[in-house]
Structure 1
Amino acid sequence: MKKLLLTICLLFTTYFTQAQFYGGGVFCSDCYSSIEAGGILSNISGLDGGSSKTGFYFGVYQYRYISDSFSFRSGISYNNLGAKVEGFDDPLVIHSINFPLSLHYTYDYKFQGFVGGEIGTNFFGKLPAYSSSDSFDHTFEFSENFTLLDASVFIGVGYILIDNIDINLKYNYGVTDINKNPEESDLKKNWLTLSIGYTFRD
């Protein structure tokens, strides 16, 4: 777990430092950065006995204007995904580091709509387990059951509360199978994210 947290912190620090350096500066006069955090409701389609689980989310992003109303957004995010599984005490957990790219439309400097796609990773995770079982074994077996990479598409809406504070609602729909076993059902990650963000607008 310490390794996971260290990896996540390093990735986010590196990206955010670069975004702050280039954003709104000499190299990218139309760019600005943002950070977001929030909650997730996720499920795995095709998983027998699966139901939604809650998780959390954190991301850092950079916007680049292409007109007064449209902008591209790229970034990196951590998503605590997975599903509860009937008959097990602990849920399936997927620690997913994602790389999204989206097109944003802003109306009247208040309302936002966006669509995009993202590449996800499944480096770390934990299989469903009983409370008395060894969590290390389930963490180790995770990589044997799930693919390293996956993809999803998403759509979302947002509202600018004040100059620097946004609230966003986004739904991701998985388009690739994360199950390594071709003889079993396709498994796809789907999740709903509600987040609040701080954007470094001029």
Structure 2
Amino acid sequence: MRVNVLQHTPDEGPGSIQDWAHAKGYQMYIYHPYQFGQLPTADDTDILVILGGPMSPNDDLPWIKQERELIKQLLVDDKPIFGACFGAQQIAKTLGYAVSKGPAKEVGWAPVYRKSDVIPGLPEQMTVLHWHEDMFELPEGSELLFSSDHLVNQGFVLNHHVVGLQFHFEPKEDNVWEMVVNDFAYIDGSVLNQSADEILARQVPAENKNVMFRILDYICEN
């Protein structure tokens, strides 16, 4: 199985998603379209992972539009797709739904609440890393998967093979440090009112990796 990862900024890598791919014995290829302009083909993709980034699906950049063409073809092919933050927004935009500013900027650690039992074994509440101020409109036919205290549409599942999350399960401790030391200016104005030091001091919950694995298993096995 070939896992193709679309990474959109140096400080938001695949984290525990790479651990999952290695544990499965899958090949992982990481693309950086924002820098090199290269994307995989649908035929070369068994599983697509679309990571976060500082850009918006509404930006008029050729590679962002090309990504959506790839997503569109994979949706037609019914192949597994996982999107985090910008990645989830790209999926929603591909399906014809709006991406816009949310009611509040969320940056830091805060709970999300499970809204569906479609993926077995997920806890009712999890503490996750938020790093966003935009939100996606929930695509028709999808099921709301998670909400937070400040944003209803925090995650969705579509046709059992597609999951988009506005927040991040995938970062490991080193990934969080990388995000904070490089993008600490973005923390300002967050409704969560956490400093860079406070974000760094919080350990990544061990269950987040387990949940990430469970979500990836689900979209690949159903």
TM beyond 0.5: no
Normalising by the smaller structure, the TM-score range is under 0.3
TM-score of the superposed pair, with normalisation by structure 2? 0.24
Structure having the higher strand fraction is 1
Which structure has the larger Rg over C-alpha atoms? 1
